[in-house]
Amino acid sequence: MENSKRNALSVARIESLLLNNKALLITIVLGAILSFSTPVFLTQTNILNVLRQVCVSTIVAVGFSLLLGSGNIDLSVGSILGLVGIIMGELMLLKVPTPLLIIIGILSGIACGLINSAMIITFTLPPFIVTLATSQIFRGIGYVITNMGPILGFPDDFLFWGQGYIGPIPTPIYIMAFITLLLYFIVNYTAFGRYAIAMGGNMEATRVSGVNVNAVRYGVYAVLGGCAGVAGLITTARVGSSQVAAGVGMEMDAIAAVVIGGTSMSGGNCKIFGSLLGCVIVGMVNNALNLLSIGSTWQVIVKGIMILFAVLLDSVTTKLYAQREKRV
């Protein structure tokens, strides 16, 4: 009897471990399948390649996790990313030195986030609609500034942020690691992070508890804006030019990765490493399609299927979780 009790306990523990870390599980299973089926997968070059490809989406996704966790949404991140790239391009044409240009670029990303939240808070509008509108506006400003053409001619010290290496590892991977750790720290070890998650759990109750929810809201949008700014830097430096279409659809990639990573769409929890793994999963699948010589046209369909899969997974595990809790 002792034994069966212990077994039941460990089964429950394994269940909850799996439900809590489904992204890690998927990563391991997918990684194992890929290493067996395509020998190239496990080489150092290929792994670094995958990681470099997911840098931009990961940086946006970790910022997005905090935002979704706080019960908000931002459909304009892709446009912010694009706009930041263009602002950096214009500053470069004005011969602004690179460090200053990068700082202004990221600050303008933060400013975009603050504009979004200011609109939402001041006029009490739904975030979905506000950011849908600003995504058009931010994108449109980029079109107007550039007249739809790319901006070329970045200096090497700028390109370093997208194309350079420190040791054997590409620079963007360091930036990704830094931003991910930073967000993990914010969420788990700062009052601001805690308030954000509380707000996602129950905004009214958080307000009644004496939390300045408006300030927190400004904060989460600013953080995401900053992340979009950094992502804009890497994207621009990687391709070596400001592109008007940079970051199109980025918000959807981010949402997909965040949900795969276990953060709830309705707020109240936030899994930063989960979002990182979510991006890695998407990256691995794309990589596999490349290795199997399946064209990039198919990748779009596969991405769509993965988003569906992610949402399905979210709802199924939530139900499983609820059932499990009933048993306890």
Nearest to 259 by CA among 212, 296, 309: 309
| Candidate residues 53, 264, 275, 286; the one interacting with other proteins per rule CB under 8 A | 264
Render 156-185 in DSSP notation, one character per residue. HHHHHHHH-EETTEEHHHHHHHHHHHHHHH
If one counts every other C-beta atom within 10 angstroms of the C-beta of residue 153, the result is: 10
Subset of 289-328 contacting other proteins (CB under 8 A): 325, 328
- Indicate the residue among 69 and 283 with the shorter CB distance to other proteins: 69
Tokens in use for 80?
């912010």
Q: Is 242 helix (H, G, I), strand (E, B) or coil?
A: strand
Tokens in use for 240?
């070596």
Tokens in use for 231?
């992502």
Is 268 a binding residue for other proteins by CB under 8 A? The answer is: yes
Is 191 a binding residue for other proteins by CB under 8 A? The answer is: yes
Smallest gap from Cβ 158 to other proteins, in A, equals 32
Is 198 a binding residue for other proteins by CB under 8 A? The answer is: yes
Is 70 a binding residue for other proteins by CB under 8 A? The answer is: no
Output the CA angle 263-61-126, nearest 5 degrees: 75
Instruction: Tell me the site size for other proteins, rule CB under 8 A.
Output: 25
The C-alpha atoms of residue 17 and residue 175 are separated, in whole angstroms, by: 30
Is 204 a binding residue for other proteins by CB under 8 A? The answer is: yes
Is 197 a binding residue for other proteins by CB under 8 A? The answer is: yes
Start-to-end C-alpha separation, the chain: 18
| Candidate residues 208, 245, 300, 312; the one interacting with other proteins per rule CB under 8 A | 208
Is 33 a binding residue for other proteins by CB under 8 A? The answer is: no
Smallest gap from Cβ 325 to other proteins, in A, equals 6
Site residues (vs other proteins, CB under 8 A): 188-192, 194-195, 197-198, 201-202, 204-212, 264, 268-269, 325, 328
